[in-house]
Amino acid sequence: MTVALINASSRPLLEGKLPEGVEPLWFEGADQLMALAPQAEVAWLDMIAPPRAKEAIALMAGLKWYCAMSSGVDWLPLDLFRERGVRLTNGAGIHAQSVSEYALMGMLTMAKGWRKVVRAQDRHEWLTEPPGKRELLDAEVLVIGAGEIGAKIAQMLDVFGAKVTVARRSPGKGELGQGEWQGALGRFDWVVLIVPSTSQTTGMFGAAQFAAMKPGAVLVNFARGTVIDQDALLTAIDSGHLGGAFLDVTTPEPLPSDHPLWSRENVHISMHLSGRAQEGLLRRGAARFLDNLGRYQRAEPLAHQVDLSHGY
Protein backbone atom coordinates (compact mmCIF):
# COMPACT_ATOMS: atom_id res chain seq x y z
CA MET A 1 0.00 0.00 0.00
CA THR A 2 1.33 3.43 -1.02
CA VAL A 3 0.74 6.06 1.65
CA ALA A 4 0.21 9.48 0.08
CA LEU A 5 0.19 12.61 2.23
CA ILE A 6 -2.03 15.20 0.53
CA ASN A 7 -3.32 18.65 1.41
CA ALA A 8 -7.04 18.35 2.13
CA SER A 9 -7.77 21.41 -0.04
CA SER A 10 -7.40 19.15 -3.09
CA ARG A 11 -9.59 16.38 -1.65
CA PRO A 12 -12.72 17.27 -3.69
CA LEU A 13 -10.67 16.95 -6.89
CA LEU A 14 -9.01 13.65 -5.97
CA GLU A 15 -11.36 11.60 -3.80
CA GLY A 16 -12.77 8.61 -5.67
CA LYS A 17 -10.15 8.96 -8.43
CA LEU A 18 -7.03 7.67 -6.70
CA PRO A 19 -5.47 4.50 -8.16
CA GLU A 20 -5.88 1.20 -6.37
CA GLY A 21 -3.30 0.56 -3.71
CA VAL A 22 -3.07 4.20 -2.59
CA GLU A 23 -3.98 5.16 0.96
CA PRO A 24 -4.49 8.93 1.23
CA LEU A 25 -3.65 10.81 4.39
CA TRP A 26 -5.44 14.16 4.14
CA PHE A 27 -4.01 16.91 6.32
CA GLU A 28 -5.51 20.23 7.32
CA GLY A 29 -3.00 22.71 8.66
CA ALA A 30 0.63 22.48 9.70
CA ASP A 31 0.11 20.65 13.01
CA GLN A 32 -1.67 17.74 11.35
CA LEU A 33 0.92 17.73 8.57
CA MET A 34 3.77 17.32 11.05
CA ALA A 35 1.98 14.52 12.86
CA LEU A 36 1.38 12.53 9.65
CA ALA A 37 4.67 13.31 7.86
CA PRO A 38 6.69 10.29 9.08
CA GLN A 39 4.20 7.92 7.38
CA ALA A 40 4.52 9.41 3.89
CA GLU A 41 5.88 7.54 0.88
CA VAL A 42 4.39 10.09 -1.52
CA ALA A 43 3.71 13.74 -0.65
CA TRP A 44 1.88 16.64 -2.29
CA LEU A 45 1.97 19.52 0.16
CA ASP A 46 1.18 22.55 -2.00
CA MET A 47 -0.79 25.39 -0.39
CA ILE A 48 1.27 25.01 2.79
CA ALA A 49 3.94 27.63 3.55
CA PRO A 50 7.36 26.61 2.14
CA PRO A 51 9.19 26.74 5.50
CA ARG A 52 6.64 24.38 7.07
CA ALA A 53 6.76 22.11 4.00
CA LYS A 54 10.56 21.82 4.33
CA GLU A 55 10.16 21.08 8.03
CA ALA A 56 7.69 18.29 7.24
CA ILE A 57 9.88 16.83 4.47
CA ALA A 58 12.72 16.41 6.96
CA LEU A 59 10.45 14.07 8.94
CA MET A 60 9.65 11.86 5.92
CA ALA A 61 12.29 9.16 6.24
CA GLY A 62 10.41 6.85 3.86
CA LEU A 63 9.60 9.46 1.19
CA LYS A 64 10.05 8.17 -2.38
CA TRP A 65 8.34 10.86 -4.48
CA TYR A 66 7.59 14.51 -3.78
CA CYS A 67 5.14 16.36 -6.02
CA ALA A 68 5.46 20.15 -6.31
CA MET A 69 3.05 22.34 -8.25
CA SER A 70 5.58 25.17 -8.65
CA SER A 71 7.83 25.29 -11.70
CA GLY A 72 10.80 26.50 -9.69
CA VAL A 73 12.03 24.08 -7.05
CA ASP A 74 14.94 26.06 -5.60
CA TRP A 75 13.01 26.45 -2.33
CA LEU A 76 12.96 22.69 -1.73
CA PRO A 77 15.72 20.65 0.05
CA LEU A 78 17.26 19.26 -3.15
CA ASP A 79 20.39 18.02 -1.36
CA LEU A 80 18.20 15.99 1.00
CA PHE A 81 16.27 14.54 -1.95
CA ARG A 82 19.53 13.53 -3.63
CA GLU A 83 20.83 11.99 -0.42
CA ARG A 84 17.65 9.96 0.16
CA GLY A 85 16.99 9.07 -3.47
CA VAL A 86 13.66 10.93 -3.56
CA ARG A 87 12.14 11.62 -6.96
CA LEU A 88 10.83 15.15 -7.47
CA THR A 89 8.29 16.33 -10.02
CA ASN A 90 7.36 19.95 -10.61
CA GLY A 91 4.60 22.03 -12.17
CA ALA A 92 6.42 22.90 -15.40
CA GLY A 93 3.80 23.99 -17.92
CA ILE A 94 0.94 24.31 -15.43
CA HIS A 95 1.67 28.02 -15.15
CA ALA A 96 2.54 28.66 -18.80
CA GLN A 97 -0.74 30.29 -19.86
CA SER A 98 -1.07 32.47 -16.77
CA VAL A 99 2.54 33.66 -16.68
CA SER A 100 2.51 34.31 -20.43
CA GLU A 101 -0.65 36.41 -20.11
CA TYR A 102 1.05 38.39 -17.32
CA ALA A 103 4.15 38.90 -19.47
CA LEU A 104 2.09 40.25 -22.37
CA MET A 105 0.04 42.38 -19.98
CA GLY A 106 3.22 43.82 -18.47
CA MET A 107 4.77 44.61 -21.83
CA LEU A 108 1.60 46.24 -23.14
CA THR A 109 1.13 48.14 -19.87
CA MET A 110 4.57 49.67 -20.27
CA ALA A 111 4.34 50.19 -24.02
CA LYS A 112 1.06 52.09 -23.74
CA GLY A 113 1.74 53.93 -20.48
CA TRP A 114 -1.31 52.23 -18.98
CA ARG A 115 -0.36 53.17 -15.42
CA LYS A 116 -0.89 56.84 -16.35
CA VAL A 117 -4.23 56.03 -18.00
CA VAL A 118 -5.49 54.33 -14.84
CA ARG A 119 -4.31 57.21 -12.68
CA ALA A 120 -6.06 59.69 -14.97
CA GLN A 121 -9.30 57.74 -14.55
CA ASP A 122 -8.83 57.81 -10.77
CA ARG A 123 -8.58 61.60 -11.05
CA HIS A 124 -11.62 61.71 -13.40
CA GLU A 125 -9.32 63.35 -15.96
CA TRP A 126 -9.86 62.87 -19.71
CA LEU A 127 -6.49 62.47 -21.46
CA THR A 128 -6.23 63.94 -24.96
CA GLU A 129 -2.95 62.20 -25.83
CA PRO A 130 -1.97 58.58 -25.11
CA PRO A 131 0.88 58.41 -22.59
CA GLY A 132 2.53 55.54 -24.44
CA LYS A 133 2.82 54.91 -28.17
CA ARG A 134 5.20 51.95 -28.39
CA GLU A 135 3.99 48.90 -30.28
CA LEU A 136 4.89 45.25 -30.05
CA LEU A 137 4.64 45.03 -33.84
CA ASP A 138 8.18 44.63 -35.22
CA ALA A 139 9.68 45.02 -31.73
CA GLU A 140 12.85 42.98 -31.24
CA VAL A 141 12.33 40.71 -28.23
CA LEU A 142 14.83 38.34 -26.63
CA VAL A 143 13.34 35.54 -24.50
CA ILE A 144 16.06 33.98 -22.35
CA GLY A 145 14.89 30.56 -21.19
CA ALA A 146 12.78 28.50 -23.54
CA GLY A 147 10.97 26.03 -21.34
CA GLU A 148 7.22 25.69 -21.61
CA ILE A 149 6.60 29.19 -20.26
CA GLY A 150 9.25 30.86 -22.41
CA ALA A 151 7.98 29.05 -25.49
CA LYS A 152 4.42 30.18 -24.74
CA ILE A 153 5.51 33.80 -24.30
CA ALA A 154 7.34 33.63 -27.64
CA GLN A 155 4.24 32.15 -29.29
CA MET A 156 2.01 34.94 -27.98
CA LEU A 157 4.47 37.65 -28.99
CA ASP A 158 4.60 36.21 -32.47
CA VAL A 159 0.85 36.78 -32.80
CA PHE A 160 1.44 40.47 -32.00
CA GLY A 161 3.99 40.67 -34.80
CA ALA A 162 7.04 40.97 -32.57
CA LYS A 163 10.37 39.67 -33.84
CA VAL A 164 11.22 37.09 -31.21
CA THR A 165 14.62 35.52 -30.64
CA VAL A 166 14.96 32.68 -28.14
CA ALA A 167 18.05 31.94 -26.08
CA ARG A 168 18.53 28.60 -24.36
CA ARG A 169 21.21 26.33 -23.00
CA SER A 170 21.01 23.99 -26.00
CA PRO A 171 19.94 26.23 -28.91
CA GLY A 172 18.12 25.08 -32.00
CA LYS A 173 18.09 26.67 -35.43
CA GLY A 174 17.74 30.44 -35.23
CA GLU A 175 18.23 30.44 -31.43
CA LEU A 176 21.07 31.85 -29.36
CA GLY A 177 23.23 29.77 -27.07
CA GLN A 178 24.70 30.49 -23.65
CA GLY A 179 27.73 32.25 -25.08
CA GLU A 180 25.86 34.18 -27.78
CA TRP A 181 22.97 36.13 -26.27
CA GLN A 182 25.15 38.43 -24.17
CA GLY A 183 26.89 39.74 -27.26
CA ALA A 184 23.55 40.37 -28.95
CA LEU A 185 21.82 42.32 -26.16
CA GLY A 186 22.17 45.64 -27.99
CA ARG A 187 19.72 44.46 -30.68
CA PHE A 188 16.66 44.08 -28.50
CA ASP A 189 13.89 46.43 -27.40
CA TRP A 190 12.70 43.95 -24.76
CA VAL A 191 14.56 41.26 -22.80
CA VAL A 192 12.40 38.65 -21.05
CA LEU A 193 13.98 36.42 -18.38
CA ILE A 194 12.30 33.08 -17.69
CA VAL A 195 15.26 30.88 -16.72
CA PRO A 196 15.21 28.35 -13.86
CA SER A 197 16.77 29.39 -10.57
CA THR A 198 20.07 27.56 -10.21
CA SER A 199 23.58 28.36 -9.05
CA GLN A 200 24.45 29.04 -12.71
CA THR A 201 21.68 31.62 -13.20
CA THR A 202 22.12 33.47 -9.89
CA GLY A 203 23.32 36.99 -10.71
CA MET A 204 23.44 36.24 -14.44
CA PHE A 205 22.13 39.70 -15.25
CA GLY A 206 24.24 42.47 -13.76
CA ALA A 207 25.90 45.78 -14.58
CA ALA A 208 27.66 44.47 -17.70
CA GLN A 209 24.47 43.04 -19.16
CA PHE A 210 22.43 46.17 -18.42
CA ALA A 211 25.12 48.34 -20.01
CA ALA A 212 25.06 46.14 -23.11
CA MET A 213 21.30 46.49 -23.56
CA LYS A 214 19.89 48.86 -26.15
CA PRO A 215 19.24 52.37 -24.74
CA GLY A 216 15.57 52.61 -23.79
CA ALA A 217 15.09 48.83 -23.74
CA VAL A 218 12.92 47.20 -21.08
CA LEU A 219 13.77 44.22 -18.87
CA VAL A 220 10.97 41.78 -18.01
CA ASN A 221 11.75 39.27 -15.23
CA PHE A 222 9.57 36.21 -14.58
CA ALA A 223 12.43 33.98 -13.43
CA ARG A 224 13.59 34.68 -9.87
CA GLY A 225 14.70 37.89 -8.23
CA THR A 226 18.13 36.35 -7.66
CA VAL A 227 18.73 36.15 -11.42
CA ILE A 228 19.38 39.92 -11.58
CA ASP A 229 21.56 42.30 -9.60
CA GLN A 230 18.87 44.68 -8.30
CA ASP A 231 21.39 47.40 -7.38
CA ALA A 232 22.75 47.31 -10.92
CA LEU A 233 19.18 47.45 -12.25
CA LEU A 234 18.45 50.57 -10.17
CA THR A 235 21.63 52.20 -11.48
CA ALA A 236 20.64 51.42 -15.08
CA ILE A 237 17.12 52.76 -14.46
CA ASP A 238 18.26 55.93 -12.69
CA SER A 239 20.87 56.70 -15.32
CA GLY A 240 18.18 56.70 -17.99
CA HIS A 241 19.90 53.94 -19.94
CA LEU A 242 17.04 51.49 -19.47
CA GLY A 243 13.50 52.36 -20.48
CA GLY A 244 12.08 50.42 -17.56
CA ALA A 245 11.54 47.04 -15.95
CA PHE A 246 8.58 44.80 -15.28
CA LEU A 247 9.34 42.57 -12.30
CA ASP A 248 7.10 39.72 -11.25
CA VAL A 249 9.88 38.56 -8.93
CA THR A 250 12.22 40.40 -6.57
CA THR A 251 14.78 39.79 -3.85
CA PRO A 252 13.59 39.47 -1.17
CA GLU A 253 9.92 38.59 -1.37
CA PRO A 254 7.90 40.36 -0.14
CA LEU A 255 9.89 43.42 -1.19
CA PRO A 256 10.30 45.76 1.82
CA SER A 257 7.95 48.74 1.67
CA ASP A 258 10.87 51.20 1.72
CA HIS A 259 12.79 49.55 -1.13
CA PRO A 260 13.67 52.07 -3.87
CA LEU A 261 12.26 49.86 -6.64
CA TRP A 262 8.73 50.71 -5.48
CA SER A 263 9.26 54.42 -6.14
CA ARG A 264 10.60 54.26 -9.71
CA GLU A 265 7.92 55.39 -12.14
CA ASN A 266 9.16 53.12 -14.93
CA VAL A 267 9.43 50.00 -12.73
CA HIS A 268 6.34 47.81 -12.43
CA ILE A 269 6.16 45.14 -9.72
CA SER A 270 3.54 42.40 -9.92
CA MET A 271 4.45 40.68 -6.62
CA HIS A 272 4.97 37.13 -7.93
CA LEU A 273 1.28 36.84 -8.72
CA SER A 274 1.57 35.65 -12.31
CA GLY A 275 1.63 31.89 -11.80
CA ARG A 276 -1.29 31.93 -9.36
CA ALA A 277 -3.48 34.23 -11.46
CA GLN A 278 -5.51 31.38 -12.88
CA GLU A 279 -8.80 29.77 -11.99
CA GLY A 280 -7.66 26.27 -12.88
CA LEU A 281 -4.38 26.04 -10.95
CA LEU A 282 -5.49 23.48 -8.36
CA ARG A 283 -7.52 21.54 -10.94
CA ARG A 284 -4.50 21.31 -13.26
CA GLY A 285 -2.24 20.36 -10.37
CA ALA A 286 -4.64 17.62 -9.27
CA ALA A 287 -4.84 16.20 -12.79
CA ARG A 288 -1.05 16.05 -13.03
CA PHE A 289 -0.76 14.46 -9.59
CA LEU A 290 -3.32 11.78 -10.51
CA ASP A 291 -1.53 11.00 -13.77
CA ASN A 292 1.83 10.69 -12.04
CA LEU A 293 0.34 8.70 -9.16
CA GLY A 294 -0.86 6.16 -11.70
CA ARG A 295 2.61 6.08 -13.25
CA TYR A 296 4.15 5.64 -9.81
CA GLN A 297 1.90 2.69 -9.01
CA ARG A 298 2.76 1.07 -12.35
CA ALA A 299 6.50 1.68 -11.81
CA GLU A 300 6.61 3.88 -14.93
CA PRO A 301 8.75 7.03 -15.41
CA LEU A 302 7.17 10.10 -13.84
CA ALA A 303 6.21 13.04 -16.05
CA HIS A 304 8.01 16.36 -15.41
CA GLN A 305 10.60 14.78 -13.17
CA VAL A 306 13.28 17.23 -12.04
CA ASP A 307 16.93 16.49 -12.70
CA LEU A 308 18.26 17.02 -9.19
CA SER A 309 21.79 17.58 -10.47
CA HIS A 310 20.61 20.59 -12.49
CA GLY A 311 17.74 21.78 -10.28
CA TYR A 312 15.10 21.82 -13.03
Q: Are 236 and 208 in contact (CB under 8 A)?
A: no
State mean pLDDT over 263-291: 95
Residue 200 scores a pLDDT above 90: no
Task: Compute the mean pLDDT over every residue in the chain, rounded to the nearest whole number.
Answer: 96
Give the Cβ contact number of residue 196 at 10 Å.
Answer: 22
Q: What is the pLDDT of residues 78-122, one digit of tens each?
A: 999 999 999 999 999 999 999 999 999 999 999 999 999 999 999
| pLDDT of 210 over the 90 cut | yes
pLDDT of residue 178 exceeding 90, the answer is no
Residues of the chain with CATH 3.40.50.720: 2-93+278-297, 96-276
Mean pLDDT computed over 190-196: 96
Q: What is the pLDDT of residues 284-311, one digit of tens each?
A: 999 999 999 999 999 999 999 999 988 8
pLDDT of amino acid 146 = 81
How much is the pLDDT for 86? 98
Each residue's pLDDT tens digit, 109-165: 999 999 999 999 999 999 999 999 999 999 999 999 988 999 999 999 999 999 999
Which fold does the domain 2-93+278-297 belong to in CATH? Answer: Rossmann fold (3.40.50)
Confidence at residue 170, expressed as pLDDT on a 0 to 100 scale: 86
The superfamily CATH assigns to domain 96-276 is NAD(P)-binding Rossmann-like Domain (3.40.50.720)
DSSP 14-73: HTTTSPTTEEEEEE-SHHHHHHHGGG-SEEE-TTS-HHHHHHHHTT-TT--EEE--SS--
Query: Rounded to whole angstroms, how far apart are CA atoms 103 and 265?
Result: 18
Q: Residue 206: what pLDDT? A: 97
pLDDT more than 90, % of the chain: 90
What number is the average pLDDT over the span 191-199?
92
CB 108 within 8 A of CB 139: no
199: pLDDT strictly greater than 90: no
Query: Strand pairing partners for 218?
Result: 190, 244
- pLDDT value for 193: 98
pLDDT in the model for residue 311:
85
Contact criterion met (CB below 8 Å) for 14 and 287: no
Q: Stretch 7-36: mean pLDDT, rounded? A: 96
Does pLDDT of 7 surpass 90? yes
Per-residue pLDDT of 41-77, as tens digits, reads 999 999 888 899 999 999 999 999 999 999 889 999 9
For residue 121, the model assigns a pLDDT of 98
Looking at residue 11, its pLDDT comes to 97
Q: Quote the crossing angle between the two packed helices 96-111 and 114-122, to the nearest 10°.
A: 80
Structure letter (DSSP) for residue 75:
T
